[in-house]
Structure 1
Amino acid sequence: MDLDNIECVSSSDGMEEDEIHSHHHSEFSSTKHRNGATNILGPNGITPATSVHELLECPVCTNSMYPPIHQCHNGHTLCSTCKTRVHNRCPTCRQELGDIRCLALEKVAESLELPCKYYSLGCPEIFPYYSKLKHETVCNFRPYSCPYAGSECSVVGDIPFLVAHLRDDHKVDMHTGCTFNHRYVKSNPREVENATWMLTVFHCFGQYFCLHFEAFQLGMAPVYMAFLRFMGDENDARNYSYSLEVGANGRKLIWEGTPRSVRDSHRKVRDSHDGLIIQRNMALFFSGGDRKELKLRVTGRIWKEQNQENGVCIPNICS
C-alpha cells in the first residue's frame, strides 16, 4: 500500500479537524535503550558478595544456572542447556565434561533469597533463588517493549521513556484529550497490501493510549482495522473503555471494548481481531461517490469506567 496517499486528520475533545499526514518509516536512527540490567541488592539495600552470583552464572549464556548444574573434572561449571551446545567440552579448560553434577552449588542456590532484578525500577519483592526467574517473566516493573507497529523496534524502557521515543524517533502524533477524529484517504482502494501505522498517542486521565489503524488480508478478503492499546499493564487497562465509530450514507459501525495492554504485541491484538474491522466493500460504501477513492472517517472516545456519567467523559479529568 502506498502510504503517502493516506491522510490523517485528527482532533481532540473539540472534534475540530486539523490536517496531519501519517508517516511510515522503514529505517530507524540509533536510540538509547533503557537499560534493564540492575545491580542486585539485598533486603537491607547492601550489594551481596558478587562472587556468589558469579558462581551461579553460566559462563556460556551468562544466565543463572538451575539444576542440573554440571561441572568438569577441574570444577568449572555450566548449565545443562549449554552442556549440549559445547559438545561436552568445558568452555573454560576444554576438558571433557562427563556427567558430573555440582551438588554443592545446587545446594547453595537453594539457600539464597534474592531481590527481583527490576529492584531499581521499583519492584520490592524478595524471592528464593528458584522462584526469582519465574517472577521476573511477569514482573509488573519489567521494562516495556516499544509499541510501534509496522517494523521491528527493539527499544525497551518505562512508559515516559517510550512516549518520548515514539515522539522523537518514530514521529508519532501526540494529542491530549479523550476524543478523536481521524480521516483515512487512499487513492486506489483496490490495492490492499499488508500495511500498518500507529498514527496517534493520546494522553488522557494521566495515561497514554496508542491508536492503531491498518489494512491487511483476512483470509481472501481485504479489510481495514482500528484498535486502541493502553500504555501500561493489563490490570490497569481494564479500568478504561473506548469506542470507535465509522459510517456514512445513513449507516454506521460501532465498536466498544477495553484497550489491550502494550504487553500484548501488536500482532497478537490484530490476529485476535479485537477491534473495529471494516470490510473493503463496506469501507467503499462509506466513502460514497464512485468508490474510486477510500475516505474513512473514524471517530472515537476513551472513558474511565468509575468516572463514566451517562456514557460521557467528564471534561475536567480528560487531560
Structure 2
Amino acid sequence: MAPGGGACKEVVKSVPTIADYDVGTTKSESSPTATRSSVTVGFIGKQEVHSNNGVYELLECPLCKTLMYPPIHQCPNGHTLCMNCKIRVHNCCPSCRYDLGNIRCLALEKFAESLEFPCKYQSLGCHNIFPYYSKLKHEQHCRFRPYNCPYAGSDCSVTGDIPTLIAHLKDDHKVDMHDGCTFNHRYVKSNPHEVENATWMLTVFNCFGKQFCLHFEAFQIGMAPVYMAFLRFMGDDNEAKTFSYSLEVGANGRKLIWQGIPRSIRDSHRKVRDSQDGLIIQRNLALFFSGGDRQELKLRVTGRIWKEELELQNKTV
C-alpha cells in the first residue's frame, strides 16, 4: 500500500507512464527569425508543442480527456486527475483505486507554464499560438469556434461552421429557406389556448449574402401567455450589430412595430427569448388581430432587414 493511501475498492492495473514526448524550442519569443527544433525533457524557456502524442497526453485528464488546469491532483502513486473528475470519482483514483487525498501535482502545473499550444480550432482557421494557461480563455471566445445549431425546441447537438449549419437546417430540420430582405409570414394555430404545446417555428433568410433566422413561438411571461417574434444572425455578434430589422403585426386599424438589432446565434435561443428582445404580442391582442370568433390564431407578421451603412448612404443621396 502506498504511504498515506488507503484502497477504495479492488486494485486495477495502473495506466502506463508516458515516457516519450516532443516539444519545440524557440531562441527568442520576440525574434522574427527564431528557429524551432524538436527536443525532449530538459529545456529552458517557452516551448511550443509539435506533437499530440506526448505532452498533450501528459496534461490530459485520463477520465474526461480534457486538458487539466490548476489545481491538478494526483494520488500517492502519481496518477493525475482534474479537479472536476476528482469530485466525480468521490476522491478515489480511477487508475489504482487509492484514496486521492489532497495532493497537488505542482511539478506538472509548473511544467505547463513553460508550454505553448495552438488553438484547438486550428483546423477551422485559427493559427495563433498561446501559453498553456491562456489557451482555454482564448478558445472560449475564438472567432473560429464552431456554432451551435440555432434550431429551437429540440436538443440538437450539431455544431459547425455556417455553411454546415445551413445544410443541416435544410436537410435535417426541414427549415424553410428564403432569399430576400423582406418577409410576410402568416402563422396559424387552431387552438391558441394551448400555449405550452405551441410548436417552434423557424425560417432562414439569405440577405446581403448572410443568413438570418426568424423565430416565432408561444410561451408565457409569468402567467401571461404571449407570442414572440425575433431575428438572429448566423455569425458573430460584432457583425450582427451592422444590421437592423423591423417586425410589424396588426389588423383592424391597429398595429405593433418592433425595430431592433439581430442577436448572434452565439446567444442561445432561450437567452434571446428570455431577454424579451423582440416583438411581443399578448395573446388577447393576437386573437383580436386574428379576427373571427377569437378561437383560432391567424397572425400575419411582416418585416425587413437592412444594413445600417447602406441605409445611411441612401438617406444622404
Q: TM-score when scaled to structure 1? A: 0.79
Q: Which runs of 5+ in 2 are unaligned?
A: 1-22, 27-35, 37-47
Which residue matches 2:33?
none
**Does residue 169 in structure 1 map to residue 172 in structure 2?**
yes
Q: Match for 1:203: what amino acid?
A: N
The counterpart of 1:185, out of the listed 188, 199, 202, is 188
1:298 corresponds to: 301
Report if the CA contact (8 A) 1:149-1:196 is conserved: no
Task: Name the CA shift for 1:311/1:288 in 2 (closer, same or farther; >3 Å).
Answer: farther
Q: Cα deviation per residue 1:260-310 (whole Å; 9 max; x = unaligned)?
A: 111111111111111111112211221223323322111001001111158
Tell which structure's C-alpha radius of gyration is larger.
Answer: 2
- Residue 234 (str. 1) matches residue 237 (str. 2): yes
Equivalent in the alignment of 1:316: none
The range that moved more, 303-312 or 51-60, is 303-312
| RMSD across aligned positions (CA) | 2.3
Equivalent residue for 2:127?
124
Counterpart code for 2:82: C
Aligned to 2:288: 285
Instruction: For residue 100 of structure 1, give the secondary structure of its aligned residue in structure 2.
Output: coil
**Cα deviations by residue, 1:60-82 (Å, 9 ceiling, x for unpaired):** 12121122222233322222332
Name the CA distance, whole Å, in 2 between partners of 1:79 and 1:211.
41
Per-residue CA shift, 1:231-261, capped at 9, x if unaligned?
1111111010000001111111100000011
**C-alpha contact 2:151 2:202 (8 A) present in aligned 1:** no
2:112 aligned residue: 109
Report % sequence identity.
77
* Secondary structure of the structure 2 residue equivalent to 1:101: coil
Alpha-carbon distance change, 253 to 108 in structure 1, aligned in 2, over 3 angstroms: same
User: Unmatched 5+ residue regions in structure 1?
Assistant: 1-40, 313-319
Question: Per the alignment, do residues 84 and 309 of structure 1 end up closer, same or farther by CA in structure 2, a change over 3 Å counting?
Answer: closer
With over 3 angstroms needed to count, the CA separation of the structure-2 counterparts of 1:222 and 1:163, relative to structure 1, is same
For 2:266, the aligned partner's letter is R
* 1:158 corresponding residue in structure 2: 161
CA displacement 1:125-169 (0-9 Å, x = unmatched): 221111111111121111111110111111111110010000000
The separation in 2 between residues aligned to 1:65 and 1:175, in whole angstroms, is 45
Query: Cα offset for 1:221?
Result: 1.9
Q: Which residue of 2 aligns with 1:18?
A: none
Q: 258, 275, 293: which one pairs with 1:272?
A: 275
SS in 2 for 1:193: helix
Q: 1:100 to 1:203 in 2, by over 3 A?
A: same
Q: Distance in 2 between matches of 1:222 and 1:101?
A: 53
Q: Using the alignment, how far apart are the partners of 2:118 and 2:235 within structure 1?
A: 23
Larger RCO (CA within 8 A; separation ≥ 6):
1
Structure 1 distance, partners of 2:98, 2:296, is 70
Match of residue 224 from structure 1: 227
Quick one: which amino acid aligns to residue 269 of structure 1?
A: V
Alpha-carbon spacing, 1:52–1:311, altered in 2? closer, same or farther (3 Å): same
Tell me, in whole angstroms, the C-alpha distance in 1 between the residues paired with 2:113 and 2:277.
Answer: 43
After TM superposition, the structure 1 stretch with the greater mean CA deviation from structure 2, 67-76 or 257-266, is 67-76
Return the offset for 1:49.
Answer: 5.3
**1:184: how far off?**
1.3
The aligned counterpart of 1:21 is none
- The equivalent position to 2:248 in structure 1, one of 245, 248, 270, is 245
Residue 211 (structure 2) aligns with: 208
What secondary structure, in the 3-state scheme, does the structure 2 residue paired with 1:107 have? helix
For the structure 1 residues 297 and 54, does the alpha-carbon distance in structure 2 shift closer, same or farther, using more than 3 Å as the test? same
| Amino acid of the structure 2 residue aligned with 1:208 | Q
Q: Aligned to 2:293, what secondary structure does the other structure show?
A: coil
Q: Is the 8 A contact 2:49 2:116 kept in 1?
A: no
Aligned CA distance change for structure 1 residues 86 and 286 (closer, same or farther; 3 Å): closer
Match of 1:198 among 194, 197, 201: 201
CA distance in 1, matches of 2:79, 2:114: 21
Kindly tell me the number of residue pairs found equivalent between the two proteins: 272
Which runs of at least 4 in structure 1 moved beyond 4 Å after TM superposition? 41-46, 309-312
CA distance 1:163–1:51, shift in 2 (3 Å) = same
Distance 1:80 1:297, change over 3 A: closer
Retained in 2: the 8 A contact 1:194–1:217?
no
Structure 2 length-normalised TM: 0.79
Distance (Å, rounded) in 1 between the aligned partners of 2:220 and 2:230:
16
